[in-house]
Amino acid sequence: MNPLWTLLPPLAAIPFILFFGEARRNLREGSIVVAGIVLVLINVSIYRATLAGETLESGELRLLHATAGVTGGADGTVYALELAAEPMGVMFGLLASFLWIVTTFYSVGYMRGHAEANQTRFYTCFAIALSAVMAAAYSANLLTLFVAYEVLTLSTVPLVTHAGNDASRKAGRVYLGILLATSIGLFLPAIIWTSIAAGSLEFVPGGVLGAAGLGGGALALLLGLFMFGIGKAAVMPLHRWLPAAMVAPTPVSALLHAVAVVKTGVFSLLKIVTYTFGIDTLSGSGAAAWLLPFAAFTVIAASVVAFTKDNLKARLAYSTIGQLSYIVLAALLATTMSITGGAMHIVMHAFGKITLFFCAGALIVFAHKTLISELDGYGRRMPVTMGAFFIGALGIIGLPPAGGLWSKALIVGGSLDTGTVFWAIVLLVSTLLNIAYLMPIPIRAFFRPLPGVAPGEQVARAEAALPSLAAIVVTATVTVLLFLYPAPLVELLGLIRWRAES
Q: Letter for the amino acid at 215?
A: G
What mean pLDDT comes out for the span 3-14?
92
Predicted local distance difference test score (pLDDT) of residue 1:
64
Name, in order, each residue with C-beta under 8 angstroms of 251's C-beta and a sequence gap of 6 or more.
103, 106, 107, 110, 111, 122, 361
Residues linked to residue 67 through DSSP beta bridges, in sequence order: 82
Which of the four pLDDT bands, split at 50, 70 and 90, describes residue 63? Answer: very low
Per-residue pLDDT tens over the stretch 419-462: 889 999 999 999 999 999 999 999 999 998 888 776 767 777 78
CA-CA-CA-CA torsion sign (230, 233, 235, 239): positive
Range name among 68-82, 136-150, 209-223 with the lowest pLDDT average = 68-82
Contact 279, 500 (CB under 8 A): yes
Stated length of the chain: 502
Cα–Cα nearest to 182, from 233, 136, 133: 233
CA dihedral 150, 279, 219, 272 (to 10 degrees): -10
Q: Which residue has the higher pLDDT, 64 or 4?
A: 4
Give me the phi and psi of 78, to 5 degrees please.
Answer: -100, 130
- What confidence score (pLDDT) does residue 73 get? 47
E-assigned strand segments in 96-201: none
Res 80: pLDDT: 79
pLDDT of 59 reads 38
Residue 364 has pLDDT above 90, yes or no: no
- For CA atoms 285, 290, 296, 299, the dihedral sign is negative
From CA 256, how far away is CA 263, in angstroms rounded?
8
The C-alpha angle with vertex 434 and arms to 432 and 438, in degrees rounded to 5, equals 130
pLDDT recorded at residue 61? 40
Give the integer Cα–Cα distance in Å for 96 and 327.
17
pLDDT band at 146 (very low <50, low <70, confident <90, very high): very high
Q: What is the pLDDT of residue 77?
A: 54
Percent of the chain with pLDDT over 90: 57
Closest to 243 in 3D by CA, of 314, 163, 325, 160: 314
Average pLDDT, the chain: 87
Confidence of residue 74 (pLDDT cuts 50, 70, 90): very low
**Structure confidence at residue 225 (pLDDT):** 97
Provide DSSP, 75-89: TS-EEEEEEE--HHH
Residue 65 has pLDDT above 70, yes or no: no
18-56 pLDDT, tens digit each: 999 888 888 998 999 999 999 999 999 998 888 887 433
Q: What is the pLDDT of residue 206?
A: 87
pLDDT reading at 69 higher than 60:
no
Q: Of 206, 324, 182, whose CA–CA distance to 267 is shortest?
A: 324
Model confidence band, residue 367 (pLDDT cutoffs 50, 70, 90): confident
pLDDT tens digits, 292-349: 999 999 999 999 999 999 999 899 999 999 999 999 999 999 998 999 999 999 999 9
**Amino acid letter, residue 322:** G
* Averaged pLDDT, 185-198: 94
Query: Which pLDDT value is given to residue 56?
Result: 33
d(Cα 275, Cα 210) in Å, to the nearest integer? 10
Q: Check residues 479 and 465 and name the one with the higher pLDDT.
A: 479
- What span, in angstroms and rounded, lies between the C-alpha atoms of 282 and 267? 17
Q: Which residues contact 313 (CB under 8 A, 6 or more apart)?
A: 246, 250, 253, 357, 360, 370
204-208, 288-292, 386-390, 409-413: lowest mean pLDDT where?
204-208
75 has a pLDDT exceeding 60: no
Is the model's pLDDT at 500 over the cut of 80? no
What is the C-alpha radius of gyration for the chain, rounded to an integer number of angstroms? 22
Name which residue leads in pLDDT, 257 or 132. Answer: 132
- Helix, strand, coil content of the chain in percent (nearest 5): 75, 5, 20
